[in-house]
Amino acid sequence: MKKRVKGIINSVLIILLAAASVIFLVYLTKGRSEVDEGYRSPTYFAMDTTLEICIKGMPEKISKKIAREVFLWVKELERRTSRFLEKSDVSEVNRNAGVSRVKVSPDTFQMVKESIKLSEMTEGAFDITVAPLMEIYGFYSHPYRIPKRSEIDRNIKLVGWKYIELDRKEKTIMLTKPGMQIDLGGIAKGYAIEKIIRMMKNRGVKRGFVNFGGAIGVLSIGQDIPSWTIGIRDPRGKPEDVLGTLSLKEGYVSSSGDYERYFIKNKRRYFHILDPRTGKCPDKVISATVVGPEGALADAMSTAIIVMGRSKGMGLVRNLPGYEAVVVEKGKEVFYTIGMKKKFALKIDWKLR
């Protein structure tokens, strides 16, 4: 049953409302915004989505300076890692596929290195080389379209994380097949919020959060500092509807779903998460939310679960220390790992399994 959250007392409700990759925030505490007691940044735009920072318990002047430093760092990360910017590391790597190695920034190298590890862990369900398939569905350039089987067969030959070569000493990357492309969109926001939270800690922030287009990082250092309450979007409701809430003092939350970039053809929904191994669009899991101690892993796993399916995906999460998940399947049934309720006080209004 769909239900709006009302009257959350002494907490902050962060609603993961992904609409066209944009996440909105609602803050409720005793009828007024807790953020009013601290500093809430303007809504920045980066990596094709929105970035928002909240810092509590520090002078506004210092908070503004920290938020500005964060935004400048994120823009530099985007400049290095966006496949849509001609001079980025990623564009240079893609242009030189099958030709030569490309020296990249430490952040780009680390993101690709972590992505390869995640590809191995998920048996290829998460794969940054999926870009050639994304392209033929029109998810980069529009209009959206269903590619012919022959197009999928041709482009899937260019997909495969095992064809990425790294030189750890020289910090170079090479795609060994001409025509290959990488896209770091499935890990970039999670990687960024992890770094941002670290920056905030290093500058003395004890309570705050970062909301970066579906990836959220929260910080509450101190015994008496309360947890944040995070609302998970109802994937078939209105943007303001929530599936349920969870409580988190420190860590990362990432949600992925079929409600962001999608089109419907012949009564079937096609969306921006593809199975790199088949070139097809998954059709069983409609949303996945992962909570854990690392932003990049939570971000990638929320995508991988949709590709792998509920059973395999949640099985993988159970073997990752500190990670929990909530999964919604096509029949609007909600599944969650046991620790999700114990550790994070999960409250859900829909049918449970």
Domains annotated on the chain, with CATH: 13-78+193-348 (3.10.520.10), 89-175 (1.10.3980.10)
pLDDT at 10 over 70: no
Residues in contact with 65: Cβ distance below 8 Å, sequence separation at least 6, in sequence order: none
pLDDT at 271 over 60: yes
Question: Which of the 8 DSSP states describes residue 99?
Answer: T
Q: How confident is the model at residue 353 (pLDDT cuts 50, 70, 90)?
A: very low
Q: What is the mean pLDDT of residues 47-74?
A: 95
For 19, 38, 179, 217, 290, the CA distances from 220, given in Å and listed in that order, are 28, 14, 46, 10, 19
Q: What is the mean pLDDT of residues 122-131?
A: 97
Q: For all residues of the chain together, what is the average pLDDT? A: 88
Burial of 153 (0-12, 13-18, 19+ CB in 10 A): exposed
Task: State what percent of residues in the chain have pLDDT above 70.
Answer: 88
pLDDT value for 132? 98
Q: Which helix (H) or strand (E) holds 305?
A: helix 295-308
Q: What is the mean pLDDT of residues 189-194?
A: 96
pLDDT value for 224? 80
Residue 68: count other Cβ atoms within 10 Å of its Cβ: 14
The Cα–Cα gap between 244 and 53 comes to 23
pLDDT value for 22? 27
pLDDT value for 111? 98
pLDDT at 236 over 80: yes
Q: What is the mean pLDDT of residues 277-297?
A: 96
Task: State what percent of residues in the chain have pLDDT above 90.
Answer: 75
Q: Which tokens hold the place of 13?
A: 């409700």
The Cα–Cα gap between 241 and 3 comes to 7
The label of the residue with tokens 């309720």 reads 341
Q: Which tokens hold the place of 102?
A: 């490309």
| DSSP β-ladder status, 334-336 and 324-329 | antiparallel
Q: How confident is the model at residue 154 (pLDDT cuts 50, 70, 90)?
A: very high
pLDDT at 66 over 80: yes
Q: Which tokens hold the place of 10?
A: 């002494």
pLDDT value for 350? 59
Return the axis-axis angle of helices 106-121 and 60-81, rounded to nearest 10°.
70
pLDDT at 3 over 70: no
pLDDT value for 34? 46
pLDDT value for 145? 95
pLDDT value for 57? 92
The Cα–Cα gap between 102 and 95 comes to 10
- 133 with 276: CB under 8 angstroms? yes
φ, ψ (nearest 5 deg) of residue 85: -105, 125
